[in-house]
């Protein structure tokens, strides 16, 4: 297909937002009549390209062309131009942040279990393919695993998105910039400026997101890096060198007054012991002791009742609802089997 033909294939409908390097549009694929999202990346000048704009775009393309999973955003097409690159993605109606903030939505245990399961399935795939969701080079903008990077479509499918700065982490000796995660979801080792880390930073973010699904507000809303540590320690207690060997050797380590831990059962009063165990294992101070995504997926929480609901039964924010969309969502259900679709998918992996 020629560049002009590819460009004419997509009819832009609405401007959805703008970032430092890109504009995002809702569009319609005139060949399939399906909605898509187009991320128009500005390539800028040669000087800007040296600062990473071009490399960021190319990195996102390279990664997404190699990643294929139900819970990873799909790259459908790439349209090149002299001044920009347009990436065509699956269109996703909303994100986890909007869902959590919508007070009209009551999140039942089976809803939360489904969302955590989908997030972990996508993250497990990334980690098995040696990709950290949020590792960047010095000098580039910092991204992260957080609720508004977990997109949701009308069928209730959750997809991890925004791979502009994701990188392969296969080299154990590689050093990275530590400012990679939005502060509220940032692991303590990043707050202490470690430059060598692995999947533990993503799993800490998972723990924070699960907590937010339960509390409906961020659990550690720090206003600075120091305040972030205080917020964390005020709930989990101040770590000791026995709990976290080597923490005192991290570049920006500072001593913070000892604070006792609050029992997680007192923080998450509606959560069962199995879910509290999952949160605890994600929020271990020592990153080497945190569960990885595969360990989390095999924990008792996902085998206990209530099972995760079907994707199509997830509630959506008010702006995403319509009778037509609800009808399309119900088409996703397999009526021949009473076992939730997502739980069946998990059983097949065990």
Lowest mean pLDDT among 75-84, 115-124, 304-313: 75-84
Question: Within a domain: residue 342?
Answer: no
Q: Count CB neighbours of 15 within 10 A.
A: 11
Query: How confident is residue 331, by pLDDT bands cut at 50, 70 and 90?
Result: very low
Residue bearing the bigger pLDDT, 49 or 40: 40
Q: Are residues 191 and 115 in the same domain?
A: yes
Annotated binding site for ATP: 16-24, 39-40
**Model pTM score:** 0.83
Q: Kindly report, residue by residue over 44-68, the tens digit of the pLDDT.
A: 645 545 444 456 667 768 778 888 9
Q: Are residues 72 and 111 in the same domain?
A: no
Residues 6+ apart with CB under 8 A from 133: 123, 126, 144, 145, 149, 160, 163, 166, 202
C-alpha to C-alpha distance for 173 and 293, rounded to whole angstroms: 22
Q: Is the pLDDT of residue 132 over 90?
A: no
Q: Which pLDDT does position 58 carry in this prediction?
A: 73
Domain count, the chain: 2
Q: Kindly report, residue by residue over 259-308, the tens digit of the pLDDT.
A: 999 999 999 999 999 999 999 999 999 999 999 999 999 999 999 999 99
Looking at residue 14, which CATH number applies to its domain? 3.30.200.20
Task: State what percent of residues in the chain have pLDDT above 90.
Answer: 59
Looking at residue 132, which CATH number applies to its domain? 1.10.510.10
User: What is the span of the domain harbouring residue 46?
Assistant: 9-90
Question: Within a domain: residue 317?
Answer: no
Q: Give how far Cα 245 sits from Cα of 83, 172, 248, 258, Å.
A: 50, 19, 8, 17
> Where are the alpha helices (H) located in 129-199, listed in sequence order?
188-191
Local structure of 198: helix, strand or coil? coil
Q: Which two tokens stand for residue 308?
A: 């995760």
Q: Which pLDDT does position 153 carry in this prediction?
A: 95
Q: Are residues 124 and 246 in the same domain?
A: yes
Annotated binding site: 16-24, 39-40
CA R_g for the chain: 21
| Catalytic residue list | 144
Q: Kindly report, residue by residue over 179-212, the tens digit of the pLDDT.
A: 445 899 999 999 999 888 888 999 999 999 999 9
- The tally of CA atoms less than 13 A away on the side-chain side of residue 51 is 11
Q: Which two tokens stand for residue 267?
A: 């923080």
Query: Closest Cα to residue 122, out of 69, 170, 166?
Result: 69
């Amino acid at each position: 297909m020629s560049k002009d033909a590819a460009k004419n294939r997509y009819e832009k409908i609405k401007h959805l937002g703008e970032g430092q390097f890109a504009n995002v549009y809702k569009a319609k694929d005139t060949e399939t009549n399906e909605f898509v999202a187009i991320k128009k990346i500005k390539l800028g000048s040669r000087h800007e390209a040296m600062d990473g704009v071009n490399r960021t775009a190319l990195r996102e393309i390279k990664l997404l062309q190699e990643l294929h999973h139900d819970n990873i955003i799909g790259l459908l097409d790439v349209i090149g131009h002299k001044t920009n690159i347009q990436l065509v993605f699956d269109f996703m109606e909303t994100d986890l942040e909007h869902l959590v903030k919508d007070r009209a939505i009551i999140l039942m245990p089976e809803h939360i279990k489904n969302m955590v399961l989908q997030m972990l399935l996508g993250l497990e795939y990334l980690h098995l393919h040696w990709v950290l969701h949020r590792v960047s080079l010095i000098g580039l903008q910092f991204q992260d695993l957080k609720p508004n990077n977990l997109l949701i479509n009308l069928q209730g499918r959750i997809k991890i998105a925004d791979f502009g700065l994701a990188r392969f982490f296969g080299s154990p000796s590689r050093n990275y910039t530590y400012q990679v995660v939005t502060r509220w979801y940032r692991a303590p080792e990043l707050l202490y400026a470690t430059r060598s880390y692995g999947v533990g930073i993503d799993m800490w973010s998972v723990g924070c997101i699960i907590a937010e699904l339960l509390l409906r507000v961020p659990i550690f809303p720090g206003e600075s890096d120091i305040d972030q540590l205080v917020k964390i320690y005020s709930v989990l207690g101040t770590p000791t060198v026995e709990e976290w060997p080597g923490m005192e050797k991290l570049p920006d380590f500072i001593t913070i007054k000892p604070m006792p831990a609050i029992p997680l059962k007192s923080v998450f009063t509606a959560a069962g012991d199995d879910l509290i165990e999952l949160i605890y294992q994600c929020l271990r101070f020592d990153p080497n002791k945190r569960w990885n995504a595969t360990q989390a997926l095999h924990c008792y929480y996902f085998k206990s009742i209530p099972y995760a609901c079907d994707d199509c039964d997830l509630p959506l924010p008010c702006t995403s609802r319509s009778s037509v969309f609800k009808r399309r969502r119900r088409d996703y259900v397999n009526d021949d089997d009473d076992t939730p679709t997502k739980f069946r998918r998990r059983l097949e992996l065990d």
